[in-house]
Amino acid sequence: MLYRKLGKTNVESSVLGFGAMRMPMLGAQGGMAGFDPNIPIDEVEATKMIEHAIEQGVTYFDTAYGYHGGKSEVFLGKALRRHRSKVMIATKLPSWNVEKPEDMERFFKEQLEKLQTDYLDCYLIHGLDTNNWAKMKEMGVLEFLDGLRASGKIRFAGFSFHDEIKVFKNIIDAFDWNMCLVQFNYYDQNYQAGTQGLAYAASKGVGIVVMEPLRGGKLVDRIPQEVQELWDTAAVRRSPVEWAMRWVWNHPEVTTVLTGSSSLGQLQDHTRIANRALANSLTPEEHALIGQVRQAYRKMLKVDCTGCAYCMPCPNGVNIPQNFNLYNDCFLFKGGEMNAFFYNRFLTPEQRASGCLACLICVEKCPQKIDIPQALKVVDEYLTKQ
Q: What is the value of pTM for the model shown?
A: 0.82
Give me the residue spans of the domains in the chain: 3-289, 320-383
- Spatial neighbors of 142 by CB under 8 A, at least 6 apart, are 174, 175
Q: What is the dihedral of CA 223, 228, 230, 231, to 10 degrees?
A: 100
The sign one gets for the Cα dihedral 261, 264, 268, 274 is positive
Beta bridge partners of 209: 181, 256
200 Cβ neighbours under 8 A, 6+ residues apart:
168, 169, 172
176-218 pLDDT tens trace: 999 999 999 998 888 888 899 999 999 999 999 999 898 877 7
Q: What is the pLDDT of residue 122?
A: 98
- Give the whole-angstrom CA distance, residue 315 versus residue 294: 32
Rg over alpha carbons for the chain, rounded to the nearest Å, is 20
Q: Which of 81, 153, 82 is nearest to 115 (CA)?
A: 81
The answer for residues whose C-beta is within 8 angstroms of residue 107's C-beta and 6 or more apart is 65, 93, 94, 97, 98
Query: 258 vs 15, 150, 239, 286, 364, CA distance in Å?
Result: 8, 27, 18, 23, 39
Q: Quick one: which of 151, 88, 100 has its CA closest to 124? A: 88
The answer for residues whose C-beta is within 8 angstroms of residue 99's C-beta and 6 or more apart is none
Vertex 55: Cα angle to 183 and 276 (nearest 5): 55
Compute the C-alpha angle 221/222/226, nearest 5°.
Answer: 120
Q: Can you say how many angstroms the Cα of residue 121 is from the centroid of all Cα atoms in its chain?
A: 19
Q: Which CATH architecture group holds 3-289?
A: Alpha-Beta Barrel (3.20)
Q: How far apart are CA 128 and CA 275, in angstroms?
A: 32
Length of the chain: 386
Cα dihedral 160/164/167/169 (nearest 10):
80
Tell me the C-alpha distance between 154 and 133, whole Å.
Answer: 20
Cis peptide before 224 (omega within 30 of 0): no
Question: Do residues 327 and 379 touch, judged by C-beta distance below 8 A?
Answer: yes
Among residues 137, 49, 159, the alpha carbon closest in space to that of 93 is found at 159
**Each residue's pLDDT tens digit in the chain (386 positions)?**
999 999 999 899 999 999 998 888 887 554 444 455 677 889 999 999 999 999 999 999 999 998 888 899 999 999 999 999 999 999 999 998 999 999 999 999 999 999 999 999 999 999 898 888 999 999 999 999 999 999 999 999 999 998 889 999 999 999 999 999 999 999 888 888 889 999 999 999 999 999 989 887 778 877 888 899 999 999 999 999 999 999 999 999 999 999 888 899 999 999 999 999 999 999 999 999 999 999 998 888 788 787 777 798 899 999 999 999 899 888 877 667 888 888 988 889 999 999 999 999 999 888 678 999 999 999 999 999 87
* Contact between 62 and 15 (Cβ < 8 Å): no
